[in-house]
Amino acid sequence: MIRFFSSLRLTFVLLVMLVILLWMGTVFSLFPDLKDGIELMNDVLIYQWFFTAWQTGWILPSWFLAICIVAGLLFVNTLVCSVTKQLVTALKVATLRRWSFFMVHIFFLVVLFCHGISLITGHKTSNIELFEGDTHQIGTLTVQVQGITFSDDSEFLKLGPRKSRELMTRDKFHRTANFAELRVTDGDTPLVSGRVMMLSPLKQGMSRFTLTKFIYGRGDHEGEIGINLNVTQNAFTQLFFIIYALMIFSLVCFIAITWTPQGRKERFHEPETVD
């Protein structure tokens, strides 16, 4: 059983299955009903989405469940391989190349773990529409929009979310020139104030305030520019980004070491793999 779960063949099969499942998601997005369900995954915690989606259809929940099973098997495969092969090999012949390869596996395991635990923990509130001066209450936290600056032509915002996103090119939308000023308080206690831009969230502890898009006001806010805000609270988010960066760094180190003269010599004189 250990040999089966640590085999490279199983790794290859699981990776192929994962790629196929992700491509299936691309195909599903071509169908309007399924596309709406996939987009909803970004608006709530995954476990909440799963039980809601299961009540309306079986295709997307079954597809997502298959991804979770394959990812879980890949986690077990990587864990067993790391302990029974990579670690044993590194201890047997301790070289920088073997230890860096082992660390790539360890960081990958932690990234998978953080992905998994984030599916069932934390809090997420999405699609909060706010205009200048508006406030929004999230538990004991109050988010206030102190100002909104939109320097580009706002005409394409009137075309609706999908069409405007298609037209949001680098020539028409300059990310750093369009932002909102937020102020977050806990009761009467100020916590953080700052600028939030697309791809640049405002952070406070385990909370992240993310600007997802600008909107063109209707009704009482006719002619005004507003923002769409997502608020997430998860204790593992910061750890995830740190470990992800460390994994990329360790992978770069491993590649660099592999292509040194000593690394190439070691690569062509590998001992037998330890089972």
What is the C-alpha to C-alpha distance for residues 107 and 248, in angstroms, rounded to an integer? 9
Cα radius of gyration (the chain): 23
Backbone phi, psi, residue 195, to 5°: -95, 135
Average pLDDT for 154-178 = 75
Write down the pLDDT at residue 269: 56
pLDDT over 80 (residue 83): yes
Which is higher by pLDDT, 212 or 5? 212
Chain mean position to CA 58: 25
Secondary structure E strands in 97-256: 123-130, 135-138, 141-150, 178-186, 189-196, 202-204, 207-216, 225-233
Q: Report if pTM > 0.75.
A: no
Query: Cβ distance 221 to 129 under 8 Å?
Result: no
Phi, psi angles (nearest 5°) of residue 232: -125, 145
Say which range, 15-24, 58-67, 169-178, 181-190, has the weakest mean pLDDT: 169-178
